[in-house]
Chain A
Amino acid sequence: MSATVARPSQVLAAVSLQCASCGRPHDPAPAHVCPSCLGPLEPVYDPDRTLPDRSEIAARPRSLWRYREWLPFTGRPVRCLNAGWTPLIEAPRLADALGVSRCVVKHDAGSFPSLSFKDRVVASALNAAYAFGLPVVGCASTGNLANAVAAAAAREGVEAWIFIPHDLEPAKVAASAIFNPRLVRVRGTYDDVNRLCAQVADRFGWGIVNVNLRAYYGEGSKTAAFEIAEQLGWRLPDAVVAPMAGGSLVTKLSKGFGEFLDAGLVDGVTPRLYGAQAEGCAPIVRLVERGDDTLVPVKPATIAKSLAIGNPADGRSAASVIRSSGGWAAAVSDAEIVEGIRLLAETTGIFGETAAGVTVAVAKSLAQSGHLTADDEVVLCITGNGLKTTDAIVDSLNVPEPIAPRLSEVASLIQQNPS
């Protein structure tokens, strides 16, 4: 009888880091801040690593790990092996409504396991926690990340501490609590929770996925860009519209498209990137509009709670990649967000959360203002599921009075509202 021993090349390890501000290199670590300048740390990839070609990627299992050479590890991932590979859904009726040539939806509202794109970043972060031997993970969350960490931690048997603002949507609280994590409701905004978690990660040494594991966590978002390119038949769209909270998704989409261009897997140029926020919390939109380099934080006031980050850490990066791509950013009112949720549902059959409403309403606004044109092939990133935010739209829906179980009552309804 022989024991199975993992070859060194298969053992999961996290890659090294480098300060995005001053460039100083750092060893792999659960750390997000440069000790020299407090700038954010970014993973560093071996430029000489062997990259797969299209056919090799296409032959791999349908998860985000099919792109593992562009994720911040060496060796084989051990956790969250089923995350990613969400559908890219054709949306011709929505294209007609927007006035664009073609519209497709990146349907992360159906992501496994927790119905939002946060399953991507958590897959990366939980493997980082494994690589560093961290027994406890956690997060500061507006809801979707809480759900994703709680679900993945339950599946992998890891202790999780989940910090959320006290006033989150009830469905998002339930969708974390069901996994039985250590759930901590904090009296304050997301920005307050974020500050608390920065201090928690610092003092207790836990793996807080969006704090001290941030460098590894954020890279998971790139897989949405990789999937879009592959699912379009190894090419890039004209434009991508994505919601912005902390600003990381747009930044990582840009990085992901760029990495596939660099690898020769796709041709052309990075798509025009468009960022979407709610008027009640639009610090990145305002930064894009002003064209300067100073993000002005705001106090959020919007029904789009998953985007309610008044002090977005990646806001400057997001504004920079949006501008350099030739894209733009726009904000919409709460009423427009509800209309956006309904337009998406009524034209695609997809029920998105409030952030989806922001994305669709901003796409409509961008089409009306001429930023999106009749020739454009547009991808909308729908990042979260509408069943988590039903309270935002229930009052706008036409829910009829009940009828008696009689044919005559149905006939009466038909008479009242002939189709």
Chain B
Amino acid sequence: MPVLSLPSVLTPLTGGQHTIPATGATVSEALDDVVSRFPALSPRLRDENGAPYPFVTIYLNDEDIRFIGGFDAPVQPGDELSVVPAVAGG
């Protein structure tokens, strides 16, 4: 099954867990599964309309999901979904 990898700033909402196993065939379904167990995470991952925040990027393995279909992108067993807050240029 895919796993969701979270930054430390969100782990108080998951009992300290950085990585959480998820079920689902798409990014959206995997996130839905995780937030069903950790409801407080929900507003940190998507806004009230279910849209991504401009300052948070979600990666499927090494790819920004915006390049591969967004929340509808398919996920496979063994995939890693990473939530990464934006950082400055360099």
Contacts and interface: CB of A to CB of B under 8 A. Distances in A.
Contacts of B10: 35, 38
Nearest to A146: B90
- The CB with the most chain B CB atoms within 10 A, among A118, A194, A208, A299, is that of A194
Interface stretch (A10-18, A136-144, A343-351): A136-144
A313 B55 contact: yes
A124 to B, nearest CB: 12
Contact of A38 (B5, B56, B90): B56
Contacts of A197: 87
A23 to B, nearest CB: 14
A248 B88 contact: yes
A199 interface: yes
Interface string B75-90: 0000000101111111
A309 interface: yes
Given A35-B12, A139-B90, A313-B89, 6 more contacts: A33-B9, A38-B44, A191-B64, A194-B90, A202-B9, A210-B89
B20 to A, nearest CB: 16
Contacts of A384: none
A214 B90 contact: no
A21 interface: yes
6 contacts: A37-B43, A38-B44, A38-B53, A39-B55, A192-B62, A211-B87
B55 A245 contact: no
Interface in A372-414: none
Interface string A20-42: 01000000000111010111100
Contact of A32 (B44, B54, B67, B87): B87
A35 B43 CA distance: 12
Q: Closest 10 interchain pairs by CB?
A: A246-B89, A313-B86, A145-B90, A141-B90, A210-B88, A33-B85, A245-B89, A214-B88, A211-B87, A198-B84
A77 interface: no
Interface in B33-89: 43-44, 53-57, 59, 62, 64, 66-67, 82, 84-89
A211 B7 CA distance: 12
Given A38-B44, A38-B53, A198 B64 contact: no
A203 B9 CA distance: 11
B interface majority secondary structure:
mixed
Nearest to B44: A38
B10 to A, nearest CB: 8
Contact of A33 (B7, B43, B64, B67): B7
A171 to B, nearest CB: 17
Interface in A177-193: 188, 190-192
- The CB with the most chain B CB atoms within 10 A, among A202, A218, A312, is that of A202
A198 B62 contact: no
Contacts of A108: none
Contacts of B85: 32-33, 38, 40, 198
A192 B57 CA distance: 12
A43 interface: no
A245 B43 CA distance: 29
Contacts of A140: 87, 90
A358 to B, nearest CB: 14
A311 B84 CA distance: 12
Nearest to A33: B85
Given A40-B55, A195-B57, A190 B9 contact: no
A389 B33 CA distance: 48
B36 to A, nearest CB: 20
A98 interface: no
Interface string A157-189: 000000000000000000000000000000010
Contact of A309 (B9, B57, B64, B89): B89
Contacts of A217: 88
A261 to B, nearest CB: 25
A271 interface: no
Interface in A127-163: 139-142, 144-146
Contacts of A118: 90
A297 interface: yes
Contacts of B44: 37-38
Nearest to A294: B54
Contacts of A253: none
Contacts of A299: 67
Nearest to B51: A294
B89 A40 contact: no
A198 B8 CA distance: 11
A247 interface: yes
A314 interface: yes
A21 B55 contact: yes
